[in-house]
Structure 1
Amino acid sequence: MTNVTIVDELVSSKIVAKVLGISSRRVQQLTEDGIFEKEKRGQYNIAKTVQAFVAYKTGESKLEKKAREGGYDAERTLLTRTKRLIEENKLKIMNGDLHRSNTVKAVMNRMLNNFKSKLQALPLKAAPKVLGETNLLVIQDTLLDEVNECLTELSEYDPNMFHDESDDIIVDDDEAGEGD
């Protein structure tokens, strides 16, 4: 048996697929997506390909890898991308498509407390209605109506509740179109 140095070994996509436990088609897809790089026609550097696959599976992008290795341009690009994501999220908040966790928490707490209060008041409200009733169906219908009335508290979702609770500036669709 001969010793093979695998570090700079060029192999076919079939071998890459077998080593990584994926299909040959998936190797092609990852190559098209820029995860893998072909060294020569249909040939891959096995060491680089395995490293790229591990980085891909762990979520580390090429930019993150370059930044980790000290590349100024890559670090700058990551910073720019992060700033862009922050601005996109601010825009989503302004459009009402994204809500801060403290706003969601406050609105949901208020809704659930209202629901809890209605449930706790249910016996006091329903008891007089069914007090002298002997017909089981009438009692069940009365209780069901009262329970459904309590449940409407949860079904009355209104996105404006989140806007009202938030300190963020919310831009309505009407306001956004005024500048056009």
Structure 2
Amino acid sequence: MLKRGSARELAELLGISERRVNQLVNEEVLHREIEGDFILTIAIATFYENKYAGKDEDNYWGEKALHEAAKRKLAELELARRQNMSHDAADVERVMTDMLSNLRSQLLGIPTKMAAKLEMKKKAFINAELESEIQSRLTELSDYKTEMFTGDSEDD
């Protein structure tokens, strides 16, 4: 015959409050019999299974999986950086600021540079020369070298 007991008796055996026993019943962790009492051996076993097996272990493995995924992502980013497939944001900002500042200066210098050369020329000649000069400046923008982003370039 199975030993039965009240919520108070179960609480004493488990070392928890009677209120906590009732909370566990409401959470459907513990099962109260129709008569209102507990089968103590089953209730104690269920309590400890829930306490140690379920949530904490799942949480541990879930956290471990997230940690491993983060480590993998960091390793992939480091590999991409070493292969010059990825660059630090500060390096990209530095290179782009330098390139665009240089382009701005060159474009603003076109009128002064070309004024004497284009004076008294026909419209078609002026258009062709200006287009050629602008294309030359834009071509410099496409001169991408991975060394520009590593900080190892000769300019630094």
Normalised by the length of structure 1, the TM-score is 0.50
Deviation of the 1:143 alpha carbon = 1.0
Shift of 1:70: 6.4
- Runs of 4+ aligned structure 1 residues displaced above 2 Å come to 163-166
Aligned to 1:157: 144
Select which of 64, 76, 97 maps to 1:88: 76
Contact 2:77/2:86 (<8 A) preserved: yes
Q: Which runs of 5+ in 2 are unaligned?
A: 1-53
Residues 28-39 of structure 1 correspond to what in structure 2 (within 5 A)? none
Structure 1: which 5+ runs fail to align?
1-65, 167-180
Post-superposition offset of 1:108:
0.7
Q: Give the share of equivalent positions with the same residue, in percent.
A: 33
Q: Judge which range, 152-161 or 90-99, deviates more.
A: 152-161
Residue 71 (structure 1) aligned to one of 59, 68, 71: 59
Number of positions where the alignment pairs a residue of Structure 1 with one of Structure 2: 99
Tell me how large the CA RMSD over aligned residues is.
2.4
Classify 1:112/1:165 alpha carbon distance in 2 versus 1 (closer, same or farther; 3 Å): farther
CA distance in 2, matches of 1:162, 1:86: 19
Quick check: 2:81–2:87 contact (8 Å CA) kept in 1?
yes
**Are 1:119 and 1:150, in contact at CA under 8 Å, matched by a contact in 2?**
yes
Q: Distance in 1 between matches of 2:118 and 2:107?
A: 17
TM-score (normalizing by structure 2): 0.57
Structure 1 or 2: larger helix share? 2
Helix, strand or coil for the counterpart of 2:151? Answer: helix
8 Å Cα contact 1:92/1:98 also seen in 2: yes
- SS at the partner of 1:132? coil
Task: Give distance in 2, aligned partners of 1:128 and 1:149.
Answer: 19
